[in-house]
Amino acid sequence: MKKLILSVMLVCAIAPSFYAQKLKGSDTVLPLAQKEAEVFGKKTGKSVTVIGGGSGVGIAALLEGTTDIATSSRRMKFDEKAKCQEAGKFIVEKIVAYDALAIIVNPSNGVTKLTRAQLEGIFTGKITNWKQVGGADLKITPYSRETSSGTYDFIKEYVLLNKNYMSSILSMPATGAIVQSVSQTKGAIGYVGLAYLNSSVKAIHVSFDGKNYIEPTEVTAKNKTYPIIRPLFFYYEKSKESKYLPFVNFVLSDEGQKIVEKVGYVPLK
């Protein structure tokens, strides 16, 4: 599996044509959308630009009409759907892949496994030292995505059970920044999409039942034994669907889903 660390913005520059689309949103979806756009462009000569920034940023851009497709690592929120209705926009939701969300620490950290409750304690600030979870006497330094990130929301809902992050948590503007920070900080912990894993950080085995601790890998993501799995989305206006379907259908095709797997995420089938 090819591991990728990408910056907040990646632009796929393909031979210009009358057909041009803009995708904006999730940093998690970014490496996938960029590769799909690259291959689609080579096959068709049609231009697709891919920009990150966070799921919330992409959905806001869709509502403002400044992007064609919003990419997201979470479902649209109630207030976002309400704004769409107020604007008279019918939004189509497409699941394009699945992702295992990995909990990462510095490679020097002796801790190899954590429960959901321990993760909740760490990210809410109740657990502050690694010795509290079987590690060395070392201060825990948690890293998080910014509030506009779909991954931020997903962790809060699914792992923290809607409890608030600690007020002093270190917010990063991009997933790649979390990888870099955790790799350079001995007591650090953070979370990233599966495709962002590399040898500079260590993935934690996670348990939601306190008994079975599962490592995030391609295999455990596909068979869904790893407990932190989520869908990845495209959102666009129904009224403009005919314009977007060539690219969307390519992503959903067998060829597009093989790219999902190559990038490091989980295909739909």
What integer pLDDT is reported at residue 19 of this predicted model?
Answer: 60
Q: What is the pLDDT of residues 72-97, one digit of tens each?
A: 999 999 999 999 889 899 999 999 99
- Domains of the chain and CATH, by start: 20-98+231-263 (3.40.190.10), 99-222 (3.40.190.10)
What angle (nearest 5°) sits at the alpha carbon of residue 148, between those of residues 86 and 84?
10
- Residue count of the chain, please give it: 269
Query: What is the Cα–Cα distance from 197 to 103, expressed in whole angstroms?
Result: 10
Q: What is the pLDDT of residues 212-255, one digit of tens each?
A: 999 999 899 989 899 999 999 999 999 999 999 999 999 999 99
Q: What is the pLDDT of residues 25-71, one digit of tens each?
A: 999 999 999 999 999 999 999 999 999 999 999 999 999 999 999 99
What angle (nearest 5°) sits at the alpha carbon of residue 122, between those of residues 119 and 128?
150
What integer pLDDT is reported at residue 20 of this predicted model?
Answer: 72
Query: What is the Cα–Cα distance from 104 to 175, expressed in whole angstroms?
Result: 12
pTM here is 0.81
